[in-house]
Amino acid sequence: MAIIFDEKLQLFHLQAANTSYMMKIYRDGYFAHIYWGNKLRNAENYAEIPEVERAWGAHPNSDDRTLTLDCVPQEYPAYGTSDNRNPAYHIQLENGSTISDLRYSSHKILKGKPALEGLPSTYVESLEEAETIEITLTDSLIKLDVILTYTVYEKLNVITRSVKYINSGNEKLKLLKVLSANVDFKNDNFDLLHLSGSWARERHMIRTSLRPGIQSIESRRGASSAQQNPFIALLSKDATETNGDVYGFNLVYSGNFVAEVEVDQFFTTRVNMGINDFDFSWLLEQGQSFQAPEVVMVYSGKGLGEMSRTYHKLYRTRLCRGQFRDKERPILANNWEATFFKFNADKIKAIAKAGKEVGIELFVLDDGWFGKRDADNSSLGDWVVDRNKLPAGLVQLAKDITSYGMEFGLWVEPEMISPNSDLYRSHPNWCLHVPDRRRTEGRNQLILDLSRVEVCDYVIKSISDVLKSAKITYVKWDMNRNMTEIGSACLPAERQRETAHRYILGLYRIMGEITSAFPHILFESCSGGGGRFDPGILYYMPQTWTSDDTDAVERLKIQYGTTVVYPTSAMCCHISEVPNGQTERVTNMDMRCNVAMSGNFGYEFDLTTMGEEDKDVIRKQIEQYKEVRSLIQFGDFYRLLSPFEGNETAWMFVSEEKKEAFAAYFRVLGRPNSPFIWVKLQGLNPNYDYRLIGTGKVYGGDELMQAGVGLPYVLGDFYSQTWRFEAIF
């Protein structure tokens, strides 16, 4: 049993493989947090919450000065009833008051894991895989029920949380803040890790010390964003890749989010996470409910690497869905960096054909195939093929390309509308906007108002028509700007601040309907690269374009940071021309290949301009990738050397039974008189012997992990090296 309720102690004990999470019904029905960390058998003594009188405390019971909620670790803290820390929620009543008081009222334990209405979430394939507890907290004055749901994936060692509000009273409630999870830690001996960046510099690892006050990681852009990923972790000060305590939080949501870490006056730490309350509110009328998204919480007592591998496995197997979840992903060629908007059918076919000749399996036609789109200033929303560029249409192009023996894929950007489009001319109010204000454009485009049902219906129909019209087996779903003037022509004044969340609900409906109507299509999400690389989108689309920055050096940090949470099977990595479009850097082909080979592999080249010698190089790269593809996409991932700490990066993949491994090393700048380098591997079986493919040399697993594998003494910048090992018996 993964969830135990100790009646006597009023203690709930959630137990996963190596994790315990405990909470209890405390005095007067307050719901307290007790423990999260390494698995315990029980914690009878630890479950006692110290009760002492603290100066400046306010007391819910006037005759007892030892109880102040400011000192009680809590699961879902309120504002205004003696806890002055950052609350997990905040609601407004009809009389204007923002005080509420939630107390435990009941609980229910169930097998499996119910889906969240309208929202993506992790799932089970059989009831035995997980156990769920629903704890109802009630504000009896206004008859508001708040259900805290916790699921324990016992084997996967994961706990998920979400929250649902049900208004059973007879007044309208305004939800001002509705976070999904709150954890109160007993001290502040932690570092905070988060993944920050920008367009073309996504998910850089940032590790800082906690300090008194609130540190907040958030997005107000209408998307999870390249600037901050909806992930944070608390790390014990001594935590490394292989040691120490790590507590990860990842929100399964693609819109505005917030993660706040507060160190209070007593040096305790409160972490909470959910939909950003900035510019948000939700009117909850009598009988209505509101579902907040899921937070996936992973504890590792063995460092960051183990936390990452836990997320990877869960997301690979119980977040991503569909036929491609467990399938090897195709090696693709995309024409974007090769042609941008300037192409015709002959050029596209020539690139595809050249791709086929070197072993590429899928050709993707990127932006510019529809409407009158010769630049980024028109036609989004008009999903009709441009006959000037493709006179025989998509049907014929797909036929031609598939006749070469490859798959055909297409780029779309369904959430957008160009002011210069037939769609905008007929529906000028279908975009997000506010009355009488400027409509600020980004990349010459506006955003469709997906809070409106008819707009979502249009997107579903127009995109489905395209997907039905030709033999398309892959879609790159792009989204190239963030929100401004967030408002909807259809919502009443009191619901305008619901727009951004309603947009995300509309988007999820669209993605859900389209991906289930076309199960044979592999969907890849993209947002100007990795601007929406989050678990919400991965639920619908199992892979994401990691970044528009394909420079091999920049990609080291971007890919390394991405793997902190997301599996390599979700990470798309392509080789492109040099000098690189984003950095103007010239790196060698080996380095570019070895970096791109560490995810779903592809090319952004104009293959028609390449000589036979270069094509041979590509042929070999593709053969090499095919040999390790399943290991890279489905093996366990280990980070060995961090690009955030120096000139060298290394990582590796190990098969589940530890019989195969693939490791990669990268050195950015060469150094004179450098020491000889041995890279220590991880994740192997110390008792196995491994043969290095290529040389035939045999190494002990213990030797590779404790002593390492040696690098040749080579000078020069942008040096990289890969190793493939197989266990011998």
548 is in an annotated binding site: yes
| CB-CB neighbours of 729 under 10 Å | 5
Catalytic residue among 277, 548, 549, 606: 548
| Token pair in block for residue 118 | 């309208």
Contacting residue, 150, 282, 315, 336, with ligand DGJ by CB under 6 A? 336
* Shortest Cβ 398–ligand DGJ spacing (Å): 19
Tell me the C-alpha to C-alpha distance, in Å, between residue 315 and each of 321, 329, 636. Answer: 9, 16, 13
Contacting residue, 190, 411, 533, 651, with ligand DGJ by CB under 6 A? 411
Q: Does 537 bind ligand DGJ (CB under 6 A)?
A: no
CB burial string 573-612: b at 16+ within 10 A, e below: bbbbbbebbbbeeebeebbbbbbbbbbbbbbbbbbbeeee
For residue 534, indicate whether it is catalytic. Answer: no
Give the orientation angle of helix 393-403 with respect to helix 345-358, to 10 degrees.
20
Q: CA–CA separation, 64 vs 725, rounded Å?
A: 66
* Shortest Cβ 366–ligand DGJ spacing (Å): 5
**Which span (229-237, 275-283, 522-530, 567-575) binds ligand DGJ, by CB under 6 A?**
522-530
619 is in an annotated binding site: no
Q: Does 366 bind ligand DGJ (CB under 6 A)?
A: yes
199 is in an annotated binding site: yes
Interactions with ligand DGJ, residue window 466-485 (CB under 6 A): 478, 480
**Which span (199-207, 254-262, 525-533, 687-695) binds ligand DGJ, by CB under 6 A?**
525-533
Q: Does 528 bind ligand DGJ (CB under 6 A)?
A: yes
174 is in an annotated binding site: no
* Shortest Cβ 194–ligand DGJ spacing (Å): 23
Contacting residue, 218, 260, 524, 548, with ligand DGJ by CB under 6 A? 548
| Token pair in block for residue 219 | 């997005």
* Shortest Cβ 591–ligand DGJ spacing (Å): 21
Q: Which residue lies nearest ligand DGJ, judged by its C-beta?
A: 367
CB neighbour class for 708 (10 Å; exposed up to 12, middle 13-18, buried from 19): middle
Decide whether 31 or 411 has the Cβ nearer to ligand DGJ. 411
Q: Does 545 bind ligand DGJ (CB under 6 A)?
A: yes
Decide whether 411 or 603 has the Cβ nearer to ligand DGJ. 411
* Shortest Cβ 526–ligand DGJ spacing (Å): 5
Contacting residue, 191, 367, 407, 498, with ligand DGJ by CB under 6 A? 367
**Which span (8-16, 451-459, 508-516, 523-531) binds ligand DGJ, by CB under 6 A?**
523-531
Decide whether 89 or 411 has the Cβ nearer to ligand DGJ. 411
Q: State the residue for tokens 């006692």.
A: 48
Q: CA–CA separation, 588 vs 666, rounded Å?
A: 12
**Which span (172-180, 195-203, 521-529, 689-697) binds ligand DGJ, by CB under 6 A?**
521-529
The DSSP 8-state label assigned to residue 27 in this structure reads: G
Torsion of CA 106, 109, 112, 117, to 10 degrees: 0
SS3 620: helix
Residues 6+ apart with CB under 8 A from 7: none
For residue 386, indicate whether it is catalytic. Answer: no
Q: What are phi and psi of 483, to 5 degrees?
A: -80, 145
CB neighbour class for 323 (10 Å; exposed up to 12, middle 13-18, buried from 19): exposed
Number of residues that make up the chain: 729
277 is in an annotated binding site: no
| Token pair in block for residue 224 | 């999870």
Decide whether 101 or 534 has the Cβ nearer to ligand DGJ. 534
Catalytic residue among 478, 534, 551, 636: 478
Q: Does 536 bind ligand DGJ (CB under 6 A)?
A: no
Give the orientation angle of helix 499-517 with respect to helix 453-469, to 10 degrees.
30
Type of residue found at 81: T
Binding residues for substrate, by number, are 199, 366-367, 443, 476-480, 526, 548
Q: Mind telling me the catalytic residues?
A: 478, 548
Q: Which residues bind ligand DGJ (CB under 6 A)?
A: 336, 366-367, 411, 478, 480, 526, 528-529, 545, 548
